[in-house]
Structure 1
Amino acid sequence: MTTSSRTSTRRNIGIGAAVAVAAALLGVASYTATKPGGAASADVPAAEVSADPQAGVYPELAKLARRDHGDALAQGRADAPVVLIEYADFLCGYCGKFARDTEPALVKKYVENGTLRIEWRNFPIFGKESDAAARAAWAAGRQGRFWQFHAAAYAEGAKEKGFGEARLKALAEEAGVKDIARFTRDAGGEAAAKAVRTDQEEAYQLGATSTPSFLVNGRPIAGAQPAATFTHAIEAAAKAARTAKDTKDTKDTKDTKDAKDAKADR
């Protein structure tokens, strides 16, 4: 077994205890709320988020946050106290609704002040064009234009035009991708396919069967929930992070003082 394989195995075992819970929340609930032809997103009831910062949170799932400084498919500080991971498909109407109606406010309120980091995971589940759009988005990210491509692909009425090859090039141009020839090569390359597969496998491992599905510091949230659901989850996660930091700082201060006292007694 290679070092990479051993690391992957340990990681899978590490999140195993929370997979059953995530499967129930991200699988059954997400499918019910967001399946094609299902209830309108506006009819999806708000997910209950307890005021207790620890309720509904699974530390094993929080470890899925990559916090990679060079991740083009993420926005916000790598060391932000809260990480929202989104598993989504560009052909998903509910994902588009989240992107247009909810995410911009979260970015303005929490990402810009350093509280929140958003990490995107490509989770194409609607077939060939979904996969092509995912690879194209990744390719746009190679030129620093992922979020601009994301906005163009999720604009009102964009998915109805499909994601054929010519359309994806047009979206890339709209997103400000400079080198379209490189974009085309990147989108069709093995690196793009591998990156998308990695994200897909992570989502399936969690039991997600539909989109969008989210994790907020290890708290699963299924479906295009109302903005208040995300606000409550982010605020609770930020509070928990502050408490953990204060506890650590207090312990570090005490340990330092004890060490100085012990040295003075010698």
Structure 2
Amino acid sequence: MTSSTKASLQVMEAKYRRSRRLNVVLGVIAAFLGVVVAAQSLPGQSPTSASTPSTSASSERSEEATDDPVFVRRDADDPMAIGDIDAPVVLTQWTDLRCPYCAVFSRDTLPTLIKEYVDTGKVRIEFHDVAFFGEQSEDAAVAAGAAAKQGKFMEFVTAVYDAAPERGHPDLPREKLIAFAKKAGVPDIDRYAADLDDPKLRAAGQESTRSAQQLGVNSVPFFVAGTTALSGAQPLGAFREFLDTALAQAE
């Protein structure tokens, strides 16, 4: 890491320490007011108890998972999730592959969270792609979906974020997306390239963006765990506190 990068991260950390409390409050208001609106279309369900339509996997969920918000999937076959399906806490992340702060989180914080919380069975992480930075963001969401179809979502996203520039939004034309798929170990590149033109994948990416906005998620990275939310690529300590609080609530 260059000295300029370290300096930039130090400035960012100081900024987020000052604004962390405000960000959490605003995030909770935005996300859960949106959940209230979404839950109004589900008679007899509260915002935090409403669940997604039943699937063969979700029907086998443990009783402890019944209070999950509507956007929590807990699908055993979910290619865009990591961790135990019955983990006490699900950390939901909304991310854009052209978001510089999403890249910072992926490189500097996520590996530690996986080691300390996911690998120990405490937390499951579920990802939602959004396209907030133009057409290439939408193309990248399609590309991530194509990688997910071959079981390489995390590897693809990690490859993109590891190569992201220190500043600004990365340029992600089709040829770069295919190159990242190769780097991520996607087994069938011809199939992958064909899937980049799949209208169903594009529609799914667009729907994910709309759903995020309806929930009040208008910037990324954005996180929800339990009944609290966190916004931005905050320092590792902030995420530890965030997840420890959610785990204590889950108990």
Fold-level match, TM-score > 0.5?
A: yes
Are the aligned partners of 1:81 and 1:238 in contact in 2 as well (CA < 8 Å)?
A: yes
Q: Say yes or no: does 1:206 pair with 2:215.
A: yes
Q: Secondary structure at the match of 2:75?
A: coil
Whole-angstrom distance in 2 between the partners of 1:183 and 1:217: 35
Q: Which letter does structure 1 place at the counterpart of 2:116?
A: K
What root-mean-square deviation, in Å, do the aligned CA atoms of Structure 1 and Structure 2 show? Answer: 2.4
Whole-angstrom distance in 1 between the partners of 2:76 and 2:181: 23
Q: Deviations over 1:95-147 (max 9, x none)?
A: 00000011110000000011011111001110111111111011101101111
Whole-angstrom distance in 2 between the partners of 1:203 and 1:41: 25
Q: Which has the higher contact order (CA 8 A, sep 6+)?
A: 1
Are the aligned partners of 2:79 and 2:151 in contact in 1 as well (CA < 8 Å)?
A: yes
Whole-angstrom distance in 2 between the partners of 1:163 and 1:43: 30
Alignment of 1:4-153 (within 5 A): 41-46=12-17, 47-48=20-21, 60=47, 62-63=68-69, 64-153=71-160
Q: Secondary structure at the match of 1:208?
A: coil
Partner of 1:252: none
Which of 184, 208, 211 is the aligned partner of 1:175? Answer: 184
Which consecutive residues of structure 2, in runs of 5 or more, have no partner in the other structure? Answer: 1-9, 23-27, 33-45, 49-67
Runs of 4+ displaced beyond 6 Å: none
Are the aligned partners of 1:60 and 1:218 in contact in 2 as well (CA < 8 Å)?
A: no
Which consecutive residues of structure 1, in runs of 5 or more, have no partner in the other structure? Answer: 1-38, 50-54, 243-266
Closer/same/farther in 2, CA of residues 156 and 186 from structure 1, 3 Å limit = closer
Alignment length, in residue pairs?
199
Closer/same/farther in 2, CA of residues 161 and 91 from structure 1, 3 Å limit = closer
Closer/same/farther in 2, CA of residues 166 and 40 from structure 1, 3 Å limit = farther
Higher Cα Rg: structure 1 or 2?
1
Q: Secondary structure at the match of 1:221?
A: strand
Are the aligned partners of 2:83 and 2:121 in contact in 1 as well (CA < 8 Å)?
A: yes
Of residues 224-233 and 99-108 in structure 1, the stretch that sits farther from structure 2 once superposed is 224-233
Partner of 1:240: 249
- Normalising by structure 2, we get a TM-score of 0.73
Closer/same/farther in 2, CA of residues 130 and 185 from structure 1, 3 Å limit = same
Q: Deviations over 1:82-107 (max 9, x none)?
A: 11111111111000000001111000
Once the two structures are aligned, what percentage of the paired residues are identical? Answer: 35
